[in-house]
Structure 1
Amino acid sequence: MSFVGVQTTLGQESSEKITCPTCKTETLATKKGGGVHLEKRMLCPECKGEGTTLGAHVCNKCGQEVLLCDLCKKVVGRAAEKPAAQLKCPDCKERVTVTKKGGGVHLEKAMECPSCKKKVEGLEAVECGRCGKEMLSCPICRQHVGSVVKRVPAVELKCPSCKETVTATKKGGGVHLEKKMACPNCKKEIQDMDIHTCSKCGTEMATCPLCNKPM
């Protein structure tokens, strides 16, 4: 059976372009649920129109839930801080409570979440409440989409002990100097030195943080 002149939208999800009050960027927000119904008409602070419903949307970048005026589609409110989410930790292999950490990750191009299939422009950085594993989750469905890999910077340099050019990995936070000194290699003034460890003999070397050469 068909209906002439009638357009059905069941099962479709709409997105609106908004300026998110949390991440402060112009992005898309996906409609969530049926919105909020008001007992009395309210005056929209943006378009000055009167209405009785507000559309509930979720920012595709940071996951903030916002309310939009049904007339002008501008943000007129936002939800309170979201409660801690639960997801399956890839290390613990169990569903655990995670806490949001930092500002998350911004994507140059929108990607499709493998869980909810919605387009997102950013990922939330979260931490496992049990083992401390840092993960990335979708800001809309809040499911695990990746893990944070911490890489230790490594440089190629000549070890003064084994006299060979080796790969040296950075160790700890380095050394802070009381006064600035000039690097003997690049001649620039520095007040900190990195510590690198030779991958062959284990010798620890002080290196310039600017030119990465042994000092």
Structure 2
Amino acid sequence: MLTRLAVAAALAVAPAIFAAPAPQNSFGPDSQVSAQPQTTSGPDYPVVVEENGYLSATFHGPYTGTPTTTGAANGPTTTAASIPALPPNPTATYYNTAGVPINPMPAPYTPAGGLGTNGTQPRYMLNSDFDFESIALGLYQEWIELDLFHDGLARFSQEEFAAAGLNAEYMSLIEFMADQETGYTTLLINMLGERAPKEYYYNYPYITVRE
């Protein structure tokens, strides 16, 4: 038998369960920051085209620059040759040993510490150069994954997918994963701001669906 608490919990989440689904690639105000939009013009930015009903860049070719092994970004100075080992950061105090929320909830069924849970307008914020370089690396990864999903769908026909044992349902799952990558890139771009890395050209060696 359902208790009053269980009924209250079910009613609390019911609006989210039965609400109409949001449009794909639509992100609310919680993902926005004040930043200049990225430019999509210039010879180094791929123009998106539609092939086989899917979007992909117009060109996938080899890299012509000079890659480095230690990274091209350097700070104004380097303060030491190495970093000494220190004890844990004393400000990192949260550790959950209970398996349930341990802090007061700002609203019913709302764990403390989440995005916008203190009533203020949320804003993503990086705290150091390490944060920026780490998130930028993640964005490069998400860009290539997004392009790879779209390129595979645009490069091969539905008949070629079928010949590899992958029907239209599998193709829709690949497109779904591409939509997820759109969400990830939006998140990371909002964290980095107007200087977030842009999508570039990529060269994939595969020539078949299975590859």
Q: Which TM-score tier does this pair reach, normalised by the shorter chain?
A: under 0.3
More strand per residue: 1
* Larger radius of gyration between Structure 1 and Structure 2: 1
**Higher relative contact order, chain-length normalized (CA < 8 Å, sep 6+):** 2
More helix per residue: 2
TM-score, normalised by the number of residues in structure 1: 0.22
TM-score, normalised by the number of residues in structure 2: 0.23
